Structures are given as C-alpha cells and as structure tokens.
Amino acid sequence: MDHSDDDHPATPTDRDWHHEEPGRWPDRADVVVIGAGLAGLTAAAAATRAGARAVVLDAHSGGGRAAVRRVALSGTSGAAVFNDGPRALYLGGPGHEVLRRLGIRPRGHKPPTRGSRVSL
C-alpha cells in the first residue's frame, strides 16, 4: 500500500484515523472495519499502523458514551445511565494487553464495591 502523499507512516492520531468532516467519505480506503468496539478499533489501528487507510463503520455514534444504557427513573423525567462498556478492562486481562500494544494506557481501575449496594 503506497501512500506517497503521506509525509510519515500513518498512526491512529493521523487525519486518516479520525475523519474531521462527518457525512463526507474519504476518497479511498484500503480496509473497511465494521464495528467500533474494542476489536474493531484495534483492527483499524493495526491496519493504519501497517500503512493502510482504514475506515470504521458503526451503527451508533461513538464518543465518550459509546456503551451506555439509559433507564427511565419511575416517577421522574430523569434517567439513570449504566455503563455497558468493556468491564473486562477493570481488572486487566487480554483487553489491557491489546491497549498496551496500541500505546494506550487506560487510567481505569477496579470499581469500588466495599460498602456499596445496588437496588433495581
């Protein structure tokens, strides 16, 4: 994959990694990844690091709330927001290794549970 117009090898922070103009498609892509979860983003990052132009497609908009569930609170107009994200990252494991290889250092930690309780 020759990208002679590039000044340097692509990385996840380059313009090809995050398209700045929503609704506009890139002129070309070497790799199309379906799904913007941990596996999809890892695949796109690996392809980009190898010099490919990757496009990630997902049914939902991402952002900081990529995996949340809103539950209406009875008797109010409000809602509770539950994290449905990658819980496996709380304690380490394979997800942490994938992120480490991508140069990402998550600041997460095991959620505090001492003295806590949940009522549904």
**Each residue's pLDDT tens digit, 2-53:** 443 444 333 344 444 455 555 667 778 999 998 887 788 889 888 988 999 8
CA 73 distance to own-chain centroid: 28
pLDDT at residue 64, as a whole number: 45
How much is the pLDDT for 2?
41
Question: Where are the chain's structural domains?
Answer: 1-103
pLDDT at 10: 38
Q: Exposed, middle or buried: residue 16 (CB in 10 Å: 0-12, 13-18, 19+)?
A: buried
Segment 65-95, tens digit of pLDDT: 456 667 777 777 777 766 666 655 656 677 7
- Residue 110's pLDDT band, with cuts at 50, 70 and 90, is low
The Cα–Cα gap between 57 and 72 comes to: 29
CA–CA dist 25, 95 (Å, integer): 30
Distance CA 3, CA 19 (A): 17
